[in-house]
């Protein structure tokens, strides 16, 4: 009777602890991030951005997910056109990234976090902001500066975004290989693991890696053009084209600047690679009577990571092979379809084209990170099993029960990601006569009236957000 009472008491105590921890870092050990953000995303879906901000779980600067907390806040403040707050939060995240990279104490601090993670789960470790999220951070910060008519500040941000992608390209191949080798060293065959893990191939699509973002390069090129730095603009248009080679708007910009800059070698090569419909469009812009209008459309909200469970063969410290249930993150294996934005002007119909699918970048990044995640999971499970056996030897059935309940409660996948980002981003470009215009953009079957001012030989940028039935636009005269 006494043993039963103690067992019941331990179970009730643990249940109370779990139910009481609804916010903060401790809650991350027992509740998936996507669950914590569900109400936030529902409010975002309805266009209630201030409400969404108020629903974000509170964090302090010592929490492992504090940087992610700031990213979510900054993105929602951006959508709510609270530019100053958005700028402040994004800048703080950037400073945290810089401190993380430069601090001499980083290895020590990570060591403490890794000890906590071994006894719980990956949510105890500091959130490492993936490169694609870092580039989007600087992209939104650039748009914040544009909203304040600060082109030089925006240029600083797009340069930072490009540096992020350059660094990612250098590190990518080596990191993937090292992580796969560590996973193999733990006795787990990569091909066998891949056969059990749900495929994300449809979600990944044709992206080569999880960090090269044609949208950031395209925005960078636009800003360089606006600043009169056409050579820099040409370089970034070409980078965007390398990532999204079938986007006809990028093709047109590369072809246009190649001719304007008299890039004879590139022109010869482009004639063999670009469609004839692009090559034939070599009509220079009438700088006196026209301006360029670019529409950037953000569609939807990126999907959250989901938790899955796999039974994997793992060797204990006594070299005994046992099957353990492992919690891992995964993405849905499909992409949401979005209708292109369309515009009718002087009898001609224009349609937007996708320039980045953030869902694909996220899925590819996760796939590349999986070997490292699984390796940590194996180390964690072996350590937890060792602890359970020790508690069982020293405290009998009660120790075994306590360890088993704790292990079960803390076996949670790390589903953290910047979950308020858009899913897909489209672009459209056209020339319009100088002056004020009231144009009609059709998105998802609904019309959006947009008032713009077109200046001679200048760029007018329209940034349109389309989340469900919520539409909002901002204009920038560059």
Give the model confidence (pLDDT) of 9-31 as tens digits: 344 444 444 444 444 555 665 66
For 263-284, b/e burial (b = at least 16 CB within 10 A) is beebeeebeeebeeebeeeeee
**Confidence check: pLDDT of 399 > 90:** no
C-beta separation of 416 from 117 below 8 A: no
C-beta separation of 270 from 437 below 8 A: no
Q: Sorting pLDDT into bands at 50, 70 and 90, what band is 144?
A: very high
Q: What are the tokens at 367?
A: 């796939």
**Confidence check: pLDDT of 184 > 50:** yes
Sole residue written with tokens 């940034």: 463
Q: To 10 degrees, the CA torsion angle through 417, 422, 426, 428?
A: -130
Q: What are the tokens at 48?
A: 């209630």
Neighbours of 140 (CB within 10 A): 20
In this prediction the pTM is: 0.86
Domains and CATH numbers, the chain: 2-477 (1.25.40.10)
Helices (H), 64-198: 66-79, 83-102, 106-118, 131-147, 151-185, 190-196
Q: What are the tokens at 420?
A: 């308020």
- CA dihedral over 460, 463, 466, 469, signed as positive or negative: negative
At residue 232, the 3 state secondary structure works out as: helix
Q: What are the tokens at 27?
A: 């809650």
Q: How much is the pLDDT for 476?
A: 95
Alpha-carbon distance of 44 to 42, in angstroms, equals 5
Alpha-carbon distance of 430 to 25, in angstroms, equals 48
Q: How much is the pLDDT for 159?
A: 96
C-beta separation of 357 from 337 below 8 A: no
Highest average pLDDT, of 14-28, 122-136, 290-304, comes from: 290-304
Closest CA to 310 of 331, 321, 325: 325
Give the model confidence (pLDDT) of 345-379 as tens digits: 877 889 999 999 999 999 999 999 988 888 887 77
**Confidence check: pLDDT of 448 > 80:** yes
Give the model confidence (pLDDT) of 212-259 as tens digits: 899 999 999 999 999 999 999 999 999 999 999 999 999 999 999 999
Closest CA to 365 of 311, 299, 416: 416
**Confidence check: pLDDT of 109 > 50:** no
Percent of the chain with pLDDT over 70: 76
Alpha-carbon distance of 296 to 475, in angstroms, equals 10
């Amino acid at each position: 009777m006494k043993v039963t009472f103690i067992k019941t008491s331990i179970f009730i105590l643990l249940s109370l602890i779990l139910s009481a921890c609804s916010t903060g870092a401790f809650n991350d050990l027992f509740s998936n991030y996507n669950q914590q953000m569900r109400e936030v995303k529902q409010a975002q879906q309805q266009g209630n951005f201030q409400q969404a901000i108020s629903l974000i779980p509170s964090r302090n600067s010592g929490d492992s997910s504090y940087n992610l907390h700031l990213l979510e806040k900054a993105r929602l403040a951006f959508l709510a056109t609270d530019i100053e707050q958005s700028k402040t939060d994004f800048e703080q995240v950037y400073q945290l990234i810089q401190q993380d990279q430069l601090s001499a104490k980083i290895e020590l601090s990570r060591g403490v976090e890794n000890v906590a993670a071994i006894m719980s789960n990956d949510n105890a470790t500091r959130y490492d902001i993936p490169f694609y999220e870092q580039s989007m951070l600087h992209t939104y910060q650039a748009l914040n500066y544009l909203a304040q008519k600060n082109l030089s500040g925006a240029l600083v941000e797009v340069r930072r975004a490009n540096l992020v992608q350059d660094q990612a390209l250098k590190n990518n191949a080596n990191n993937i290989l090292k992580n796969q080798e560590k996973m193999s060293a733990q006795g787990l065959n990569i091909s066998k693991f891949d056969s059990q893990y749900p495929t994300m191939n449809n979600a990944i699509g044709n992206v080569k890696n999880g960090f090269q973002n044609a949208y950031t390069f395209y925005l960078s090129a636009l800003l360089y053009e606006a600043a009169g730095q056409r050579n820099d603009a040409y370089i970034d248009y070409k980078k965007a084209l390398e990532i999204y080679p079938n986007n006809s708007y990028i093709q047109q910009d590369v072809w246009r600047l190649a001719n304007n800059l008299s890039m004879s070698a590139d022109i010869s090569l482009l004639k063999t690679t670009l469609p004839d419909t692009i090559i034939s469009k070599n009509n220079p812009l009438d700088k006196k009577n026209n301006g360029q209008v670019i529409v950037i459309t953000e569609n939807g909200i990126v999907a959250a990571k989901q938790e899955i469970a796999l039974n994997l063969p793992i060797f204990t410290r006594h070299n005994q092979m046992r099957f353990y249930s492992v919690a891992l993150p995964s993405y849905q294996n499909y992409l949401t379809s979005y209708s292109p934005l369309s515009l009718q002007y002087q009898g001609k119909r224009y349609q937007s084209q996708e320039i980045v699918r953030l869902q694909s970048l996220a899925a590819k990044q996760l796939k590349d990170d999986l070997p490292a995640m699984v390796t940590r999971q194996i180390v964690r499970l072996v350590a937890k099993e060792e602890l359970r056996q020790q508690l069982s030897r020293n405290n009998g059935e009660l120790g075994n029960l306590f360890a088993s309940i704790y292990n079960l409660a803390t076996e949670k996948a790390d589903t953290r990601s910047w979950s308020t980002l858009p899913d897909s981003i489209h672009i459209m470009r056209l020339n319009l006569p100088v002056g004020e215009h009231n144009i009609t953009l059709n998105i998802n079957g609904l019309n959006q009236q947009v008032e713009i001012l077109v200046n001679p030989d200048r760029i007018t940028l329209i940034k349109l957000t389309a989340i469900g039935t919520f539409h909002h636009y901002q204009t920038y005269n560059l």
